[in-house]
């Protein structure tokens, strides 16, 4: 944060970057990997003429799924998937097909090809789901939120939620709540510096950012503070934090092993996952009860935005179970994603002191011109917004975006049939020198007006199925940096 007693961040050696550097190396076990597409790689622009080639002619490792699965795990599996995708694009070019076990997809990297993909997503866009989360909901007979839903049920819910959560008009609702948390975080940091007696902050930054992100998203969604930025946390709140952490930790193993199998054998990871989600939904139940109690006691609004949960309850267009499902999904998807992005942003800024000063000057000018009006201020910080986009280019939260196409399409002169899973490699695209000049340089100015950004900034997705929590995340991160 760069106003009101701002802190200057310095690079710390303990924070390790997953780097992809230009060179001849090709070591997927942790060594350097070339930026996507060397001079000898196929040209990136879509083929504009010639005979369309068949689906079976798409290059890649798809003919022997078991051999591909063995190679995938040998090279690090999901933990190393970003490097594996970079290597595959280097090997096969801007489009390749793969089949790993029963999982088959076509992978693309070109922004122009991304435009073709999203035009073919249809009225009801469909992507990969988090199997562990759907398995829990099926087990407990709970409703899916829009993150997990498909078809008309998804669309009808999404239309209602868009107006309450992602519409530009909601910015005025979210800013005061998120700014309050941001100011408290600054105060907490300064108090910790004073107590340390060392003149510097020595807390676990990633842990502090997790608490900040959870406090922020809870304030917006539930309309209440959890008290995570206080020195002492009450036992119920601590249990809630522990369960959120447990939910994330138990989700990852079930990306490797089908949840149905783990449930059948009574695996501990499955039992822990169920316990975590039970507690998260119980928290939502308590919040709903508190909101109804407050409405009975004081039915007249006091002018303060009550939070997404209360707003949806008063709107009365979704069932309570649908509201609960969507709010818990927003919470689950809005904690580690923003905290990790902020962690990478501070790391990158620590490497470029001159850039810190440029951002500070922009923030100070915006503060003066807006006279402290945070909503107006957010309209005058293009470089700060560029810094967040640049972080997401180099360090995207998701390695790829996925869509099941609903019609036959042609990409790079290859026919791709309807129903195929197509993935856009975000990590690989962000480090491609033919798409982003000097891709390993952290340069927020590349996102300012004057340059073409056509389908290049897709970290929050695109179209009707873009990230529902996008507006919350963007405002939260922008306010944190200023």
Q: What was the pLDDT predicted at 394? A: 97
Task: List Cβ neighbours of 125 (8 Å cut-off, separation of 6 or more).
Answer: 403, 463, 464, 465
CA distance 331 to 308: 11
DSSP string, 162-196: IIIIISGGGHHHHHHHHHHHHHHHHHHHHHHHHHH
The CATH superfamily label for domain 65-481 reads Cytochrome P450 (1.10.630.10)
Q: What was the pLDDT predicted at 253? A: 83
Half-sphere exposure of 345 (CA within 13 A, CB side): 27
User: In the beta sheet, which residues pair with residue 275?
Assistant: none
What is the block-wise mean pLDDT of the chain (482 residues), using blocks of 10 residues?
38 31 36 41 46 95 79 79 92 94 89 94 89 96 95 96 92 95 95 86 90 95 92 87 91 85 95 95 89 77 83 93 93 88 96 96 95 93 97 95 94 96 96 95 91 85 93 96 94
Q: What was the pLDDT predicted at 150? A: 93
Question: pTM for this one?
Answer: 0.86
Burial class (CB in 10 A: 0-12, 13-18, 19+), 66: exposed
Q: What was the pLDDT predicted at 186? A: 95
Annotation-wise, does 36 bind a ligand?
no
Task: List Cβ neighbours of 450 (8 Å cut-off, separation of 6 or more).
Answer: none
Tokens standing for 384?
């700060």
Q: What are phi and psi of 157, to 5 degrees?
A: -70, -45
Q: What was the pLDDT predicted at 16? A: 31
């Amino acid at each position: 944060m760069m106003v009101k007693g701002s802190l200057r961040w310095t690079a710390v050696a303990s924070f390790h970057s997953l780097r992809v550097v230009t060179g001849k190396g090709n070591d997927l076990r942790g060594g350097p990997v070339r930026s996507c597409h060397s001079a000898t790689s196929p040209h990136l622009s879509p083929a504009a003429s010639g005979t369309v080639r068949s689906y079976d002619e798409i290059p890649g490792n798809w003919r022997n799924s078991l051999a591909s699965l063995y190679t995938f795990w040998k090279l690090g599996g999901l933990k190393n998937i970003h490097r594996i995708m970079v290597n595959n694009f280097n090997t096969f070019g801007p489009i390749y097909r793969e089949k790993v076990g029963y999982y088959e997809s076509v992978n693309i990297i070109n922004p122009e090809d991304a435009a073709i993909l999203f035009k073919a997503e249809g009225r009801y866009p469909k992507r990969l789901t988090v199997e562990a989360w759907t398995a829990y909901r099926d087990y407990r007979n709970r409703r899916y939120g829009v993150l997990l839903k498909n078809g008309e049920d998804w669309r009808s819910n999404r239309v209602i939620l868009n107006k309450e959560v992602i519409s530009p008009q909601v910015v005025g609702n979210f800013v005061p709540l998120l700014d309050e948390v941001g100011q408290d975080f600054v105060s907490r940091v300064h108090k910790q510096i004073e107590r340390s007696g060392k003149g510097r902050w020595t807390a676990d930054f990633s842990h502090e950012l997790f608490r900040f992100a959870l406090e922020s998203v809870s304030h917006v969604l539930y309309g209440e503070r959890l008290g995570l930025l206080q020195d002492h946390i009450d036992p119920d709140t601590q249990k809630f934090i522990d369960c959120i952490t447990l939910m994330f930790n138990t989700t990852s193993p079930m990306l490797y092993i089908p949840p149905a199998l783990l449930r059948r054998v009574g695996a501990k990871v499955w039992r822990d996952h169920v316990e975590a989600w039970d507690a998260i939904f119980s928290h939502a139940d308590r919040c709903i009860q508190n909101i109804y109690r407050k409405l009975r006691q004081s039915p007249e609004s006091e002018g303060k935005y009550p939070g997404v949960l209360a707003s949806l309850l008063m709107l009365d267009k979704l069932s309570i179970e649908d509201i609960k499902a969507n709010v818990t999904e927003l919470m689950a998807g809005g904690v580690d994603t923003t905290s990790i992005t902020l962690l990478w942003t501070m790391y990158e800024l620590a490497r470029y002191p001159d850039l810190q000063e440029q951002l500070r000057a922009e923030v100070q000018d915006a503060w003066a011109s807006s006279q402290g009006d945070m909503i107006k201020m957010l309209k005058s910080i293009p470089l700060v917004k560029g810094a967040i986009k640049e972080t997401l280019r180099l360090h995207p939260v998701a390695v790829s975006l996925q869509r099941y196409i609903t019609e036959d399409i042609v990409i790079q002169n290859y026919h791709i049939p309807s129903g195929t899973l197509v993935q856009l490699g975000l990590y690989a695209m962000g480090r491609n020198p033919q798409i982003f000049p000097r891709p390993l340089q952290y340069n927020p100015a590349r996102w300012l007006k004057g340059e073409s950004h056509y389908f290049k900034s897709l970290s929050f997705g695109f179209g009707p199925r873009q990230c529902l929590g996008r507006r919350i995340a963007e405002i939260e991160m922008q306010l944190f940096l200023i």
